[in-house]
Amino acid sequence: MNILSLIRDRFRPALSHLTEAVDPLLEMIRPAQDASFGDYQANCAMPLGKQLGLPPREVAQRLVDELDVEEFCEQPEIAGPGFINLRLKIDWLDAQLGAALSDARLGVDETSSPTVVVIDYSSPNVAKPMHVGHIRSTVIGDCLARVLRHLGHQVIGDNHLGDWGTQFGMIIYGYKHFVNMSAYRENPVMELSRLYQYVNRLVEFHAGKIKLPLQEEKITQLEGQVNEQMSVCRDTDGKQKKKQEKLLRKQQSQLAQLRKERDGLAAKLSQVTSDPDLLRVVEEHQGVGVAVLQETVRLHAGDETNLALWNEFLPKCREEIQRVYDRLDIHFDVEYGESFYHDQLAEVVDQFLDAGLARESEGAICVFLEDWEAPMIIRKKDGAFLYATTDLATIRYRMETWQPDLMLYVVDHRQSEHFSKLFTTARSWFKSEVEYRHVGFGTVLGRDGRPYRTRSGDTVGLESLLDEAVAKAHAVVVENDQRKPEPEMSDEERMQVARVVGHGAIKYADLSHNRTSDYEFDTDKMLALEGNTATYLQYSYARVQSIFRRAGAEARRHAQQVTTFDLGHPAERALALQLLRFSESLEEVLIDFRPNQLTDYLFKLAQMYSVFFEHCPVLKAETDGLRHSRLALSDLTSRAMKQGLALLGIEVVERM
């Protein structure tokens, strides 16, 4: 039962008698902002009036006259310039609640048009441990998979691991030249990760040394332009002056940006040159940039040593990553990774050439696209294949294997150009109906508002952050328990609760932010007992459970047998309506793949329950009937919270 869809369905015929473009008008029917006007509001009479050249109130009246909503709405009211306000009938709400009460799905129907969806998510590069940036793709993708499945779609979750790229060239090179064997035996992944960072530093140093003079040159050039532009500004008056000054400001800010970049680069270089040991190594490994690429090329060409190293490293790296997935209860249907597609790449390029979709340009094989100046390269001059080639092979494989209707890529927004090009190319290749979507997201920031890093500038390992959150959650749980007249929990239970709360806090903080914005990673805020956090919701859930514990053994059964609800108090009615809007929130999640629609819903539900609880005594209700009705509302609330959180990948605890 989706109330909003039901209302929209009833508006459809009425609207279609007045206009052809019905869908955008249907979107203007929304839940009311202010409950005193009603439960839902339709704002479509205003634009429609404009379109038809009629007064909006008259249009609203015509719509209302035709609208067939009597079975569930009071007489619609027209307000202000032409708003149509709808209030649901209390008997109808009552009946719907009764249906939800006896339904394990709480009145959320499965879709009548199931689709097949491939979700590409998490997909870390495995040569280094997971860091905080990986949390986003992992939990957003997981949540979308859960919601889609719950609504009856078929989902294939694919962890497209980066297990074949230049990072392996880095660690192979590092292993051959710098490995500390005892450290490797002790903790291979840590040593590989150190090697990765070490080699990366060498590569960056040499690249930086080439880049620095080029940057200096650009700066000198721009300084000249700025000086010239200054005199142009001096010599111009009137209308032109403003324009010239604007240009000057633009150049000046470009110059400032370039200088900043140059200073950063120079500082990085001098960090190396001021360390004599490092400097010696750097000088001994002049050609490291090329050498690393060659190690990758050798691996791809089947070189025995490199392949053996890869086979040795890969399971260790994957084990490390798997530990995080296990902790976070993340599961994939398939994890092919880039290496799986390796021997299909040559054939993909041939297909493109044969179909005339790609052609050679300066030795490389390129797909030229209408809206972009730079083509998408699918084979480099030296014969190497690229990230894009693998992605095309992956799409082909998915199409052949699952015939999906939709492919979602939950990947950092910085890759949006790659995906735009990829999708355009894939569309011209397959000419099928499949829809592609890049579900992008912003950056995880530290408290200084910059990408989250340690003081030394390294990215922060994900596991240590999970540990930190669990440790802090443990402190909160212990404190809470000790504050009770009689502490209730064993050490083991406290630890278990801390894990659920700590992991939940991290997931929820990520999911509750609008995915396209950046957010600040702050474990204290995430674990706050008040506000829009998992902790608050888990606490609210546990509180409802404690009411049932106090109410005695029969309470749950009485509650679940309720056939008519008492919704006389506004807080009861508001809570009832919110409970019935669960399915709307899930539909909202899927409109633009935004899990925060669900977190918002749950937060609001918890707040409404809290208002209800304050105004409507449950255990001390005046009559048995009222007590049962309120217990039933409580039962529904706790079930909706538990299911809602489960769809976010978050668990609940019975007490905390």
Contacts with ligand ARG by CB under 6 A lie at 120, 123-125, 160, 162, 391, 394, 409, 411
Three-state DSSP at 54 gives coil
Closest approach of Cβ 457 to ligand ARG, in Å?
20
Q: At closest approach, how far in Å is the CB of 269 from ligand ARG? A: 26
Question: How far apart are CB 159 and ligand ARG at their closest, in Å?
Answer: 9
CA 311 vs. chain centroid, Å, equals: 32
Closest distance to ligand ARG from the beta carbon of 581 (Å): 34
Nearer to ligand ARG, 227 or 416 (CB): 416
Query: Distance (Å, rounded) from C-alpha 393 to C-alpha 565?
Result: 57
CB of 575 to ligand ARG, least distance (A): 42
Q: Shortest CA distance to 444 belongs to which of 652, 140, 21, 218?
A: 140
CB of 418 to ligand ARG, least distance (A): 7
Least CB distance to ligand ARG at residue 164 (A): 10
C-beta of 72 vs 397, nearer to ligand ARG: 397
- Kindly report the number of other CB atoms within 10 A of residue 643's CB atom: 18
Give me the DSSP letters along 139-207.
HHHHHHHHHHHHTT-EEEEE---B-SSHHHHHHHHHHHHH--HHHHHH-HHHHHHHHHHHHHHHHHHHH
Structure tokens of 329? 């209860």
Which residue, 123 or 339, has its beta carbon nearer to ligand ARG? 123
Residue 185 Cβ vs ligand ARG, minimum distance, rounded to whole Å = 28
**Closer CB to ligand ARG, 11 or 409, in the complex:** 409
Nearer to ligand ARG, 120 or 510 (CB): 120
- What helix, strand, coil percent values describe the chain, rounded to 5? 60, 10, 30
- The residue assigned the tokens 């940057």 is 215
Of 160 and 655, which CB lies nearer to ligand ARG in the complex structure?
160
Phi/psi of residue 269, nearest 5 degrees = -65, -40
Q: Which residues pair with 580 in a beta bridge?
A: none
Nearest distance, CB of residue 125 and ligand ARG, angstroms: 5
Pick 138 or 480: Cβ nearer ligand ARG:
138
Least distance from C-beta 175 to ligand ARG, angstroms? 21
439: β partners: 410
153: left (phi over 0), alpha (psi -120 to 50) or beta: beta
Shortest gap between Cβ of 410 and ligand ARG (angstroms)? 8
Which residue, 6 or 293, is less far from ligand ARG as judged by CB? 293
Comparison of 260 and 414: residue with beta carbon closer to ligand ARG: 414
CA distance 244 to 252: 12
Return d(Cα 496, Cα 431) in angstroms, integer.
Answer: 51
The residue among 391 and 572 lying less far from ligand ARG, judged by its C-beta, is: 391
Q: Closest approach of Cβ 391 to ligand ARG, in Å?
A: 5
Minimum CB distance to ligand ARG smaller for 94 or for 120: 120
CB of 161 to ligand ARG, least distance (A): 7
Element (H, E) at 428: helix 416-430
Of 162 and 174, the one with the shorter C-beta distance to ligand ARG is 162
Answer positive or negative: Cα dihedral of 191, 193, 198, 199: positive
Comparison of 107 and 337: residue with beta carbon closer to ligand ARG: 337
Could you give the CA distance from residue 500 to residue 645 in angstroms, rounded to a whole number?
A: 12
Whole-angstrom Cα distance, residue 298 to residue 284? 22
> In the complex, what is the shortest distance from the CB of residue 124 to ligand ARG, in angstroms, rounded to a whole number?
6
- In 3D space, the residue among 439, 415, 605 whose CA is nearest the CA of residue 514 turns out to be 439
| Pick 412 or 600: Cβ nearer ligand ARG | 412
Residue with Cβ nearer ligand ARG (157 or 162): 162
Alpha carbons within 13 A on the beta-carbon side of 429: 25
**Which tokens go with 409?**
């890529």
Q: Which residue is nearest to ligand ARG (CB)?
A: 162
Nearest to 201 by CA among 457, 541, 516, 507: 457
Smallest gap, in angstroms, from Cβ of residue 293 to ligand ARG?
Answer: 18
As measured in angstroms, the least distance from the Cβ of 424 to ligand ARG is 15
Query: Which tokens sit at 147?
Result: 């919601």
Of 409 and 565, nearer to ligand ARG (C-beta) is: 409
HEC profile of 460-522: CEHHHHHHHHHHHHHHHHHHHHHHCCCCCCCHHHHHHHHHHHHHHHHHHHHHHCCCCCCEECC
- List of residues 6+ apart from 53 with CB closer than 8 A: none
Burial of 575 (0-12, 13-18, 19+ CB in 10 A): buried
Orientation of helix 276-284 relative to helix 239-273, angle to 10°? 100
Given a contact cutoff of 8 angstroms between Cβ atoms, the answer to whether 512 and 537 are in contact is no
Round to whole Å and give the CA distance between 254 and 246.
12
